[in-house]
Amino acid sequence: MDKLKTVSFNDQKVVLKNNLVESDILPATTKDLTRDVVVDGETIIKGSVFSRNLQINQGPLTVEGAVFVNKELHVNTDCVGPLHFRKAVGSTDSISCLLAKGRSYFLSDVSAKKIVLKNCFVAGSVLADEIDLENCVVTGGAFATKKLSLKNSVLGTFNATSVLASGVNHLLMPSAFSVEPVVNSGNAVFWNLTTLDLTSLCFEQPNPDGSGKVAMHLENDSLPISLFDEQDNKSVVRSFSIAGKVMMADVLKLDELENHFILRAATLGGHLEKTYKVSLGDLDPIKIADSLFRVVEGKVEIPVVERTINLEDLRALAV
C-alpha cells in the first residue's frame, strides 16, 4: 500500500487505489471546493474528507475522520470489501449506498437531504428529509422530516411524517413515532426487541427464560398523541409502541439486561478506540452490528414473548 503524506487535487479529481493517506483530504484553495474524490480500491484515510462528490467504486475502505460532501456520496452496488466510516458522514444533497454483496459500517450519524442505504450498519442515527432503508441496522433512530421507507431492517426507533413499511422489521426501543399512520406496503411485520437479551444474542448463547421479541400490530399498537408547545399550539403525532403492554413481572427482570450499555457501546465505538466488557466477554461495534444482521437475515431464532397484559386489563383487575 502506497503511503501519501498529503493529497493534492489535479484539475478534476483525486483517485485513490491501494493508498494509505496519512492526512486530511481538504480543499486548500477555493477552486478545490469543486473537486471530486474517487476510491477505486483498497484505501485507508487517517484524516477527514471534504469533496464535491465522493465516489466509491471498490473497497475495502476505512475513513478515520469525518466525511462531508457538497453534492453526493455514492457507492457502487457491486462494491466489495467492507467500508468503515468511523466518524460522522454528511452531505448537503444525497447519500446512496446500495450494496448488493458487501457491507458498510457507519460508526456515527449519517445526514443528508436524501439517504438511501442497503446492507448498512449505522451506529448513530440517520437524519434526512427522505430515508430509504433495506436490510439495514440502525442502533439509534431514523428521523425523516418527510418520508421514511423500511424493508427488513432493525432500528432503535423512528420519527417521520410518513412511513412506508414492508418485510420484517424490528425495533430496539419501546416506541416509534409518525405524523401519519404507518402504511403497510407489502405484508409488513414489526417485532419489538426491548425484552430480548442482546448479550446472549451477541455471544450466540441461549436466551434467558422470558427473553425474546414482542409482536407489534400497526393498528392496535398505534395511538394519536396531542402535543402542545409554549404558545399552546397543538400538533398530533402517532405513537407506535408496546408501552401499552406490561410484561409479567415474574417472566423477565429487565433491569438485569445489558441492552442499554450494548447500544451505547455501539454508538460510542466510532469515538473510543476500545472494546467493551460485558458479562459474557468483550464487545465492539462490529460484533454488535454483525449480531443484529443475523436478525435481519433471519439466521437466529428469537422466541416470542406472549405473557403480556394490556394496561386496560390491568386496570380492570384492580377494580
Which letter does DSSP use for residue 304 in this model? B
pLDDT score for 219: 83
Is the model's pLDDT at 295 over the cut of 80? Answer: yes
Is the model's pLDDT at 9 over the cut of 60? Answer: no
Q: Where are the alpha helices (DSSP H) in 244-284?
A: 259-268
Q: Which three cell numbers, joined as nine digits, stand for 123?
A: 451506529
pLDDT score for 309: 55
Cα–Cα distances (Å) from 217 to 54, 181, 192, 241, 316, in that order, read 40, 12, 10, 9, 22
Residue showing cell 427464560: 209
Contacts 24+ apart (CB under 8 A), 306-314: 307/210, 307/247, 307/248, 307/251, 308/214, 308/245, 308/246, 308/247, 308/248, 309/245, 309/246, 309/248, 310/244, 310/245, 310/246, 311/244, 311/245, 311/246, 314/246
More confident residue, 292 or 211: 292
Q: What is the mean pLDDT of the chain?
A: 86
More confident residue, 270 or 286: 286
Is the model's pLDDT at 315 over the cut of 70? Answer: no
Is the model's pLDDT at 120 over the cut of 90? Answer: yes
Is the model's pLDDT at 251 over the cut of 80? Answer: no
Query: Is residue 223 very low, low, confident or very high in pLDDT (cuts 50, 70, 90)?
Result: confident
Which letter does DSSP use for residue 255 in this model? G
Q: Could you give the CA distance from residue 171 to residue 215 in angstroms, rounded to a whole number?
A: 10
Cα–Cα distances (Å) from 64 to 85, 105, 169, 233, in that order, read 6, 12, 31, 44
Query: Is residue 255 very low, low, confident or very high in pLDDT (cuts 50, 70, 90)?
Result: low
Q: Could you give the CA distance from residue 56 to residue 83 in angstroms, rounded to a whole number?
A: 9
Chain segment 168-217, per-residue pLDDT in tens: 999 999 899 999 999 998 789 999 998 888 999 999 999 888 788 999 99
Q: Which three cell numbers, joined as nine digits, stand for 107?
A: 460508526
Chain segment 44-91, per-residue pLDDT in tens: 999 999 999 999 999 999 999 999 999 999 999 999 889 999 999 999
pLDDT score for 195: 85
pLDDT score for 92: 97
pLDDT score for 44: 96
Q: What angle do CA 144, 146, 151 make, to 5 degrees?
A: 60
Is the model's pLDDT at 234 over the cut of 50? Answer: yes
Q: Which three cell numbers, joined as nine digits, stand for 82?
A: 467492507
Residue showing cell 439517504: 115
Backbone angles phi, psi at 216, to 5 degrees: -120, 130
pLDDT score for 19: 92
More confident residue, 43 or 220: 43
3-17, 99-113, 201-215: which is most confident: 99-113
HSE-up of residue 219 (Cα within 13 Å, Cβ side)? 0
pTM of the model: 0.88
Q: For residue 134, which of 173, 102, 97, 107 has the smallest C-alpha distance?
A: 97
Is the model's pLDDT at 313 over the cut of 50? Answer: yes
